[in-house]
Structure formats: structure tokens, C-alpha cells
Amino acid sequence: MTETRAAPGELRDACIEAAREAIAAHGIECLSLRDVARRLGVSHQAPYKHYASRDHLLAEVVRRCFEGFAACLDGREHFDDPVLDLDSLGRRYMEYARSHPLEYRLMFGTPWPAAAEHPGLARDAVHAFEILRKVLRRLHGDGPAQRERVDLDALFVWSTIHGLVGVLGGSCADKLALSPQVMDQAMAHIMAKVRLGLGLPG
Amino acid sequence: MTETRAAPGELRDACIEAAREAIAAHGIECLSLRDVARRLGVSHQAPYKHYASRDHLLAEVVRRCFEGFAACLDGREHFDDPVLDLDSLGRRYMEYARSHPLEYRLMFGTPWPAAAEHPGLARDAVHAFEILRKVLRRLHGDGPAQRERVDLDALFVWSTIHGLVGVLGGSCADKLALSPQVMDQAMAHIMAKVRLGLGLPG
């Protein structure tokens, strides 16, 4: 593929794919527009038509992760009962984290590139958090008096599930001699504790 | 400093310090014994007297992080009341994570080097987790029938606090328009939710 044969939209998307491959292979630190161009077989200058810098490309990679993540959460099984809906959201979050480790790490485990230059990244990240806020507003109410409680509880729910992803995915957990029963029950146990923490039936 | 002038114990410790500096400056991927030797002004072969490979050095760096981390947790204010002691442990954990971001990332945010070759690393990691298990045994009881509950609750407590460290330290939280009140209360709120989750007074 050469830059003259690729349509502008194709090259824009191809750069994202090549960047993801480069990050998966060598880590985020080694990402460069030069390497992306080499992977695509285009000139060194070609990616600059769409991305002003390596950070602009990386920001778009991360933004698309949030877009896909939010779509995955929105695609969960919905329930009229917000307690069941919170559980469905938690399960979906865990499934996404397990099946998309690279995307998850880019969103939550590595510093973002200068995000101020890419308002779309912040917007799509806020949209993903807003899904959780909405479920908690259905539990607590939607008035200004409930805003602080909703945000604090959202931090609690997010921290607990995000923490479990990190703990079970990390190197440490393997060494703790946790029984298979404990590993099997961990997610359900933690969601029950989240419900109790929120004052709901465990 | 040259290899002939440094006592063996000094060089062993100096390699650890140089490795930490190299990781802080360039990331874990770039760590090499050659770079450590260059930083210390010793021959390329000198670090091999103490560390068979880059992974052996890295494993010892991470092991010492766990040693210091466990000592910090053990040095918390202790309480006879296990509910108060759990709170003290949680606060100490957060303080450590905030004041030692590099150590925290090495222990919990990056894959360990081939740990099987370094049993001391696993041992010191288990020791740190055991501190939390002990507090929960004081709450739930110490018999075999309580073992599973202790481990599941330990995962819940650890996940929640580890998750909050990641959420507040990540790039995403800045963009969520969380009020200063929410940020100030987050840790206390989450510890109250942990207590409720464990069936204790919030």
C-alpha cells in the first residue's frame, strides 16, 4: 500500500490500526509516526496529513477505545430495576476488561497524551463514566442535592471493579494461594459487596 | 566508583539504586544490566557478579518494594478494634501509594519478571497480603470454615482501595468534573462503603 493509492479516510484508519499493532508489540513508549509509516509502507510524511504528531495519533487511538468501551457498556442487557441494571453494567465492564486488555490499559493504565489538544478524548471518556452516573441517578435521584452522592458512589463502584480487574490481572494474585472457589466467586462476591455498600440488598 | 573499589554488598545495593533510577527515567522496558553498569561507572560484567540477568535484578528491585510496602503497612497506628484497624490499614495503603508511585507501579502495575526464579519476591508479596488477611481474620474468625470468606473479603477490600488509587491517579478522573468536595471525601467515603460491604457499621 502506498500513500497515493490509499484514500484519505483509509490512511487515517490504517494509521490507527498500525499504531495499535505497534503498541501491542513494543509498548506505548516506542510508538512513533515514523514506525507507523514503515508498517504501512507509506512515506514518512504521509501520516502527518492526518495526525499532527505522535501524541495526536495516540489520543485518537485512546479516544476510539473509549468509544468502543462505552458502546459495549451501552450494549449490556438493560433492566428496569436499577439494582439489576447496575449488576449487568458491572458484569459487562469486567467482560470488556478481560477481552480487551490492550484497550483497557490504554484507557486506564497509561498516562494519556496531552489530552487538552484532543477534546474528543475527554468527551468520550466522560460519556463512559456518565453511563455509571445514570444508573446511580436512577437509584439515588437526579436533583442537585444528590449530585455529590451520585459521584462518590460512582467512584466507589468504579474503583471496586477497576481494582478487581487490576488485582486479578496482575502478577501478585497468582502467588496468594487463592482457592479456585475464591477465584470463581470473586466477581459475584464483589458485586454483592458493592450492593451492600450502596445500601441495597446484597 | 570502580568494581575493584566497591565492596560486594555495596555494588549489590548500588545496582538496585541505579536500576530504580533507570526505570524512573526511561521505563521498565529499557532496563538493562549494561545501562546499570554504565550508570555506576563499572565494567559491563560487574553487575553479573550479583545478578544473573536483568530479570534477576528487576525481581530484587520489586521484592524490595514489597518489603518496604509491608513495613509501611505494619508501621500503621494499630487498634485493638479490628474495624478501626482496617481503617488505619486502608489509610496507610493510600498514603503509601500516593507517596511511592514508582514502587506502587512496579508491584501492582507492571508484569513481574519471571518470578519463579525469585521465591523471595512471591514471599514478600504474600506477606503484604497477609497483613490484610490477619485483620479480616480478627473480624470473621480464624477457622478453616472462614478461610474462603476472609480471602473473598480481602479481595474486595484490596480491589476497592487499589482501584481508587488507579482511578484518582489516572488521566481520566481529571476530566470528569468531580467537585473538590467529592475529591476530598473520596477516600473516607470508600472506606465507609467497605465497612458497609463487610456488614460493619458504616
What does the block give as the cell for A40?
A: 504501512
What does the block give as the cell for B96?
A: 503509601
Confidence of residue B3 (pLDDT cuts 50, 70, 90): very low
Query: pLDDT by residue (tens digit) across B115-145?
Result: 556 888 989 999 999 999 999 999 999 988 8
CATH superfamily, domain B65-197, is: Tetracycline Repressor, domain 2 (1.10.357.10)
Residue spans in chain B of domains classed CATH 1.10.357.10: 65-197
- Mutation for testing the B interface, residue in A159, A187, A194 having most B CBs under 10 Å: A159
What per-residue confidence (pLDDT) applies to B8?
65
Whether residue B160 and residue A159 make contact (CB cut-off 8 A), yes or no, is yes
Residue A4 has pLDDT above 70, yes or no: no
CA of A82 vs chain B CAs: smallest distance (Å) = 19
Cα B73 to Cα B93: distance, rounded to the nearest angstrom: 7
Give percent of chain B above pLDDT 70. Answer: 94
Contact list in A for residue B196 (CB cut-off 8 A) is 196-197, 199
CATH code assigned to B1-51: 1.10.10
Whether residue B197 and residue A199 make contact (CB cut-off 8 A), yes or no, is no
Q: DSSP character for A76?
A: S
Residue B26 has pLDDT above 90, yes or no: no
What per-residue confidence (pLDDT) applies to B29?
80
Residue spans in chain A of domains classed CATH 1.10.357.10: 66-197
Cα A190 to Cα A144: distance, rounded to the nearest angstrom: 29
Of A107, A125, A164, the CB nearest to B155: A164
Residue spans in chain B of domains classed CATH 1.10.10: 1-51
What does the block give as the cell for A114?
A: 496531552
What per-residue confidence (pLDDT) applies to B69?
96
Residue A2 has pLDDT above 70, yes or no: no
Query: pLDDT by residue (tens digit) across B62-100?
Result: 999 999 999 999 999 999 999 999 999 999 999 999 999
**DSSP H stretches of helix in chain A:** 8-26, 33-40, 54-74, 82-99, 101-108, 119-140, 147-169, 180-197
DSSP string, A158-186: HHHHHHHHHHHHSSSGGGG---HHHHHHH
CATH code assigned to A66-197: 1.10.357.10
